[in-house]
């Protein structure tokens, strides 16, 4: 059975209130590189979790990390 939802940015689902769902903290950096490119968090291992990346960089969210790393 396929999960149907309203799609938002990056083909991600939206919550019931219309906000785009946050990425799960257990998402691997390697998975995020498929979306954001091979140079995304290139100084970190691909098997690192997003939550660990955010903790190490002092970022509150993936969006904040991406803005800081530009």
Q: Is residue 14 part of a domain?
A: no
Q: State residue 20's pLDDT score.
A: 56
Asked if 45 and 53 touch (Cβ cutoff 8 Å), the reply is: no
Domain span at residue 61 reads 24-68
Give 10-residue mean pLDDT values along the chain (70 residues).
56 62 84 93 96 95 89
- How wide is the angle at C-alpha 64 spanned by C-alphas 21 and 23, nearest 5°? 25
Q: Is residue 2 part of a domain?
A: no
Q: Is residue 17 part of a domain?
A: no
Q: Is residue 50 part of a domain?
A: yes
- Those residues with Cβ within 8 angstroms of residue 10's Cβ, 6 or more apart along the chain or in another chain: 35
Q: Is residue 19 part of a domain?
A: no
Query: How many domains are contained in the chain?
Result: 1
Q: Is residue 12 part of a domain?
A: no
pTM of the model: 0.69
Q: State residue 70's pLDDT score.
A: 80
Q: What is the dihedral of CA 45, 24, 22, 44, to 10 degrees?
A: -10
């Amino acid at each position: 059975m396929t999960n149907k939802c309203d799609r938002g940015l990056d083909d991600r689902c939206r919550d019931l209130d219309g906000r785009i769902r946050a990425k799960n903290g257990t998402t691997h950096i390697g998975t995020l590189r498929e979306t954001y490119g091979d140079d995304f968090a290139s100084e970190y291992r691909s098997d690192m979790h997003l939550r660990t990346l955010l903790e190490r960089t002092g970022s509150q969210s993936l969006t904040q990390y991406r803005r800081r790393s530009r």
